[in-house]
Amino acid sequence: MRIGLVTNMMDQQSAGIGRYTENLTKELLLNNKENTYYLIHSNKKKYDFKGNYQEIRLPFFDSIPKKLLIGGPVIEKICVDHKLDILHDFGQISPFFLKSKTKKILTIFDLGPILFPQFFTTLTCTYSKLFPVILNNTDHIITISENSKKDIVNTFKIPKEKITVTHLGVEDRFRPVKNKEYLKKIRKKYKLPEKFILFVGTIEPRKNLPLLLSAFSKIKDRFDTNLVIAGKLGWKYESIYKTFDELGITRNVILTGFVDDNHLPVLYNLADVLVYPSLYEGFGLPVLEALSCGCPVITSKFSVLRQDLKKCCFLIDPGDEASLCRALEMPYMNVKRVKVFADKGLKAAHEYSWTKCSYNTLNVYNALHE
């Protein structure tokens, strides 16, 4: 088969969709040598993958607006010129406006902008209104959880048979780290204290940081602990700084900014617990990454994680501060129970791999090509 992969999200970010795009692309190329792949992206980055692929670099693919306004005819021309059998866009919003013989696949992570518009920018919500048009020209949809599949079916009345769930994987680098000198080096680099609670993610409304900050303010002194927030600044982050002052926690909060991908596993290893109290997520990759490092996890009971992972986490009501306070006390008051959960999580997380994700994705390609 001749397969086009729209990989521009890999150029723009290394978290979330970008990480999915990079890992899935890498595994498809490694495990599927008989197909020819065409990686369609902007000119920001040159790839260095192993496998049978060519790059098609489009300078205007560096933003979603440009991609949508100009991308439709260009994508169709690429499909025709390169005689593509399959075109798979990993970027959630695609310029699938024209019909061609090439089978089109779209990965939709979640319907957050449609179901919870209050957590997203006006621009993002506006893009999401194009979903009905795009899906009308999409032959198959891939999503990352059963919950997201259910949302897509109910919202757009898409037949279940047109949607395949492929669970995310976790990279091998997310594992327990034994090298004490390396741990010490990274702790020093990010100025991490001996005891800390970790949050990983973009600082934006749906991450539910106000609840975490308030709960943390009530337990920090009792356990002499700190809060580390690892992630870039997102939409409406300004109020977070004001909250630090109001709660009197400024000295106990460390903002690392964006953390190098190679250093992130160390943060999970050093943390007392990862807290991921999001109000809405398609999956929540930091939960899986933390469990793979042996780090205990606190997350929402409404999380879309599979049941096998939920059994390894301390679940909270994301609207109940008392619930979160009790969970935050756990690493310091019930060490044995936390260790049991962390060990269970480490074992369960090993079942998730990008290799499995790539084989499940390839099955979709093969089924459409028959």
Same fold, 2-168+353-369 and 180-349: yes
180-349: CATH topology is Rossmann fold (3.40.50)
Give pLDDT tens digits for 13-56. Answer: 656 788 899 999 999 999 878 899 999 998 777 788 999 999 99
Q: Name the token pair of 53.
A: 């692929």
pLDDT one-digit tens code per residue, 67-101: 888 888 899 999 999 999 999 999 888 888 877 78
Helix, strand, coil % in the chain, rounded to nearest 5: 50, 15, 35
Cα separation, 254 vs 257, whole angstroms: 9
Look at the block and give the residue holding tokens 């991921």. Answer: 276
Sheet strands (E) in the chain: 2-6, 36-41, 53-57, 86-89, 103-107, 140-143, 163-165, 196-200, 226-230, 253-257, 273-276, 297-300, 314-316
Longest alpha-carbon distance in the chain: 66
Torsion sign, CA atoms 186, 191, 196, 198: negative
CB 258 within 8 A of CB 228: no
Instruction: Indicate the pTM of the whole model.
Output: 0.88
- List, for residues 166-177, the tens digit of each pLDDT value: 999 999 999 999
Fold of 2-168+353-369: Rossmann fold (3.40.50)
Domain ranges in the chain are 2-168+353-369, 180-349
Q: How do strand 196-200 and strand 163-165 relate by DSSP bridges?
A: unpaired
Res 282 pLDDT > 70: no
What whole-number distance in Å separates Cα of residue 185 and Cα of residue 331?
24
pLDDT at 363: 96
